[in-house]
Amino acid sequence: MKNLLVILLGVITLVGCSGKTGDQGITGPQGSTGPYTYQASLQNGIWQNGTYNGELDTWFASTGGNGYANSYRRITTGTNVGGYSRSILKFDVSSIPTNATIVSAELVMRTLPSTSVTSTPVTIGCHNFITNEYSGGCTWNSTATWNNAWTSTAWSICSSDSSVSQLGYIQTPAFSSVVFTNSTTNPETVSWSVPPSVVKTWLTQINNEGLILKSEGEFGEPAANVDFSPYNDATATNRPTLNILYQ
């Protein structure tokens, strides 16, 4: 009995006792703070408390003329070059620091009820201008037509393409594309991704020629047209927007 009592007391002693808590280890170094990410939503009459007015767009048809004065920007398709048109647009990005790292960018457009697409879908791609447009000084303005960048200055001066199709100033392939069907005639918001490297070029190059929207099926498609709200649409929130994330 005595021996059993001694054993029990030993067990209680082992269970009930604990050593002194050691000192806390050294805390590891903290990581550096990551860069802040900013968003610029460039849209006439909205960005910068409504003061931004740096977006310009127009459209032109292969049959000649200029659609700058129209209340829409049109991309048409047809079975031959004579039934075709494109839209071009550019944004003033000078509010973004030239040394910024561009994370992502997207072009956002609003379609109009005047859009008319047949049972054959229309794929519209978003393109950049060729490099020569930047270095050659072929800066387009609101007078641009199928053959001319402005007034009497031909696209071919920089693109060396004097053919009827006038594809020489367009960088291929498209960055991204949107498919329009005969069920998309009601107004809707659509978007195309734009590579960060393209936006960076606009920040660092002398000329910023912007973007081209064109059908990817040139030129053998059934007649159709996709219309978008222009830079001066009566409803400011319908106007083209370039969303840019940067650090």
pLDDT confidence of residue 218: 79
pLDDT digits (tens, 9 = 90+) for 86-99: 999 999 999 999 99
pLDDT at 13 over 50: no
Q: Confidence class of residue 158 from pLDDT cuts 50, 70 and 90?
A: confident
pLDDT confidence of residue 35: 78
pLDDT, mean of residues 104-116: 95
DSSP the chain: -HHHHHHHHHHHHHHH--PPPPPPPPPPPPPPPPPP-EEEEE-TTTTTTTT---EEEEEEETTS---TTSSSEEEEE-SSGGG-EEEEEEE--TTS-TTPPEEEEEEEEEB-TT-B--SS-EEEEEEEBPHHHHHHT----TT--SSEEETTEETHHHH---STT--TTB-SS-SEEEEE-TT--S--EEEEE--HHHHHHHHHSS----EEEEETTTT-S-SEEEEE--TT-SSGGGS-EEEEEE-
pLDDT confidence of residue 211: 96
Query: Counting Cβ atoms within 10 Å, is residue 108 exposed (0-12), middle (13-18) or buried (19+)?
Result: middle
CA atoms lying within 13 Å on the CB side of residue 34: 4
Higher pLDDT, 173 or 23: 173
pLDDT confidence of residue 220: 75
pLDDT confidence of residue 16: 45
Residues 93 and 16: their CA atoms lie apart, in Å, by 72
CA atoms lying within 13 Å on the CB side of residue 61: 15
pLDDT, mean of residues 219-225: 83
pLDDT digits (tens, 9 = 90+) for 21-63: 556 555 555 655 567 999 999 999 999 999 999 999 999 988 8
Global pTM reads 0.83
pLDDT at 7 over 50: no
